[in-house]
Amino acid sequence: MVDEVLDDVKTNIKEWFRKYVASLHCIMKELEKAESTSEFMELKKKLMQCMIKSLPLESEYCPFCEFYLVVNKYTSCDDCEYKKAHGKCNSKSSTWRKIRDLQEELLDAIRDYWYGYELGEEK
C-alpha cells in the first residue's frame, strides 16, 4: 500500500538533498572567505542553522503522509501505520513532534551561539 508512493518520496528526498548540499556549499564558500573571527563565527552560526532547519520532516518526505494525505486524499491519519507506532505527528507525545520540538530548541540555542560582540564589537 504505502510502498506505491515510495518512488515519489525518494524523488522528493533526492531533490531535498540536492538543495541542501547546494545551500551548504554556498555557505562554505562564504565561510572560506571570512576575514575575521567574528565574520567566521557568524557564518558558522548560519551553517548550523541551515543544517538544523533543513531536516526533511515535511509530509512530502514521508511515504505515510504521501500515501494517506496525497494519494488517497484522506484528511485524517487514522489508518496510518506510522501513527500507530509513533503517535499522530502533531500530537505532543509523537516521535515526529519530539524531533520538531528539539529542532526548535537547537535553533534557539544556535541563535545564542554568537552575538557578534564577543570580541568587543558593538551590538
Residues 49 and 43 sit within 8 Å (Cβ to Cβ):
no
Using the Cα atoms of residue 36, residue 39, residue 45 and residue 47 in order, give the sign of their dihedral.
negative
Confirm whether 14 is domain-assigned: yes
In a domain, 27, yes or no: yes
In a domain, 13, yes or no: yes
Cα–Cα distance measured from residue 90 to residue 45, given in angstroms and rounded to the nearest whole number: 28
pLDDT band at 121 (very low <50, low <70, confident <90, very high): low
Question: pTM above the 0.75 mark?
Answer: yes
Residue 30 lies in a domain: yes
Residue 78: give the domain boundaries: 2-111
Please indicate, yes or no, if residue 120 is contained in any of the structural domains: no
Number of domains in the chain: 1
Classify residue 69: in a domain, yes or no: yes
**How far is 99 from 76, CA to CA, in rounded Å?**
21
The model's confidence at residue 1, banded by pLDDT at 50, 70 and 90, is confident
Cα–Cα dist 59/54, whole Å: 14
Q: What is the number of H-type helices and E-type strands within the chain?
A: 5, 0
